[in-house]
């Protein structure tokens, strides 16, 4: 599966050193790899940086400080917390920040001179509620405003994963979800790179009984 995606020019998201090692062994360009786990051991960061990975998610001041120590030239994207209503496996409370916590992370990026490039969120795994993506994009827009107030130029929006596999009739199609997302993205300023992590939607049906 990974070989096919690589041949098609797909970029990749990883959450661990072992996942990254698989991609590097395949010859994936590290510029096309996004490290979206906001909690990374020091040796994982060092491994990723030493192999040229540039993009990393953060959702705490401690992680910003860690990235500054090990990867001061990295480009960071802030993971914000959004609604996981309607998701089979909610991730709320596990990752992501909002309000003052988000502001503290942005301020830490400023303090350490880190490149805060954008925002990511996750609507929950196997999400059946397309409203979550709409609300997430709107929350990202508000976060972009706070970033601009601090002098940053946001340029990346990662819509995260959660795109459901169509296991029964009550699951919305990827086309329906995509239309809701695209309608909302029409309000996004020019100059943004928009990415997403649709792995479940692509391959989960191969493992369903």
Closest CA to 178 of 191, 192, 205, 159: 159
| Predicted local distance difference test score (pLDDT) of residue 147 | 98
- Please write the tens of the pLDDT for every residue from 164-194: 998 888 899 999 999 999 999 999 988 999 9
Q: What percent of the chain is predicted at pLDDT more than 70? A: 99
Rounded Cα distance, 167 and 36, in Å = 27
Backbone angles phi, psi at 165, to 5 degrees: -85, 140
Contact 153, 109 (CB under 8 A): no
Sheet holding 193-195, edge to edge: 12-14, 33-35, 55-58, 75-79, 115-120, 156-158, 193-195
Q: Tell me the β-bridge partners of 87.
A: 127
The Cα 127–Cα 172 span in angstroms is 9
Q: Is 0.75 topped by the overall pTM?
A: yes
Helical segments of 71-98, H only: none
């Amino acid at each position: 599966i990974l070989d096919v995606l690589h041949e098609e020019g797909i970029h990749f998201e990883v959450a661990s050193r072992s996942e990254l090692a698989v991609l590097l062994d395949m010859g994936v360009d590290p510029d096309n790899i996004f490290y979206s786990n906001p909690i990374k051991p020091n040796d994982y960061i060092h491994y990723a940086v030493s192999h040229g990975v540039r993009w990393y998610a953060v959702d705490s001041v401690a992680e910003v400080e860690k990235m500054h120590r090990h990867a001061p030239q990295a480009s960071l994207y802030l993971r914000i917390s959004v609604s996981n209503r309607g998701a089979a496996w909610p991730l709320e409370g596990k990752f992501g920040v909002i309000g003052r916590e988000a502001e503290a992370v942005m301020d830490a990026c400023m303090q350490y001179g880190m490149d805060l490039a954008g925002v990511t969120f996750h609507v929950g795994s196997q999400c059946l509620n397309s409203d979550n993506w709409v609300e997430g994009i709107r929350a990202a827009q508000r976060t972009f405003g706070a970033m601009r107030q601090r002098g940053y130029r946001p340029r990346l929006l990662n819509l995260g994963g959660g795109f459901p596999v169509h296991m029964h009739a009550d699951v919305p199609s990827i086309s329906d979800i995509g239309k809701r997302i695209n309608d909302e993205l029409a309000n996004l300023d020019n100059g943004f790179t928009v990415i997403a992590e649709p792995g479940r939607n692509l391959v989960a049906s191969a493992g369903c009984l």
